[in-house]
Homo-oligomer: A and B are copies of this chain.
Amino acid sequence: MAGSKVGSIGEYIRDQRQRAKISLRQLADAAGVSNPYLSQIERGLRKPSAEILQQIAKGLRISAEALYVQAGILEDRKADTDVQAAIRADLSLSERQKQVLLDIYESFRKENEGGVPAPADANDERKEAVE
């Protein structure tokens, strides 16, 4: 999907449907939503709920997440790193603690965008962080 990340969900659905070479009614039937409503969604007249998006994704045989991203209700995340996935799934952490760790992890990665720093620099980093 070239262009903006959060575009018109309706246009995106129509595009995917046309790529799949199925009619509006065929998709509506496969998705279990009414065909007039799907038409309205595609033309931007209605704003579908996440549940409807889930059904449409099923009918299109694509991930619901892809539609959520287009609809602006989910961040477009490239595959989680192992660290991120592990933190999210860790049952010994509260939701808030997970968010804190993820934020710190992310800020560390930003610092390292020019490369992983030498151990001497990392020393200073630790002192700041621990204090």
> A interface vs B, CB < 8 Å?
1-2, 16, 19-20, 49-51, 54, 60-66, 68, 71, 73-74, 76-83, 85-105, 107-109, 111-112, 116-119, 121-123, 125-126, 128-131
Contact between B86 and A79 (Cβ–Cβ < 8 Å)? yes
Give the interface SS of chain A, mostly helix, strand, loop or mixed.
helix
Copies in the complex: 2
Q: How far, in whole Å, are A111 and B97 apart by their CA atoms in the complex?
A: 10
Contact between B94 and A83 (Cβ–Cβ < 8 Å)? no
Contact between A16 and B126 (Cβ–Cβ < 8 Å)? no
Inside 8 A of A129's CB, which chain B residues have their CB? 100, 104, 129-130
Contact between B126 and A63 (Cβ–Cβ < 8 Å)? no
CB distance from A126 to the nearest CB of B (A): 5
Inside 8 A of A85's CB, which chain B residues have their CB? 77, 79, 81, 86
CB-contact partner of A119 in B16, B92, B94, B123, under 8 A:
B94
Identify 5 residue pairs between A and B in the complex whose beta-carbon atoms are under 8 Å apart, listed by A's number: A2-B91, A19-B94, A62-B98, A99-B126, A100-B129
Inside 8 A of A50's CB, which chain B residues have their CB? 49-50, 68, 71, 73
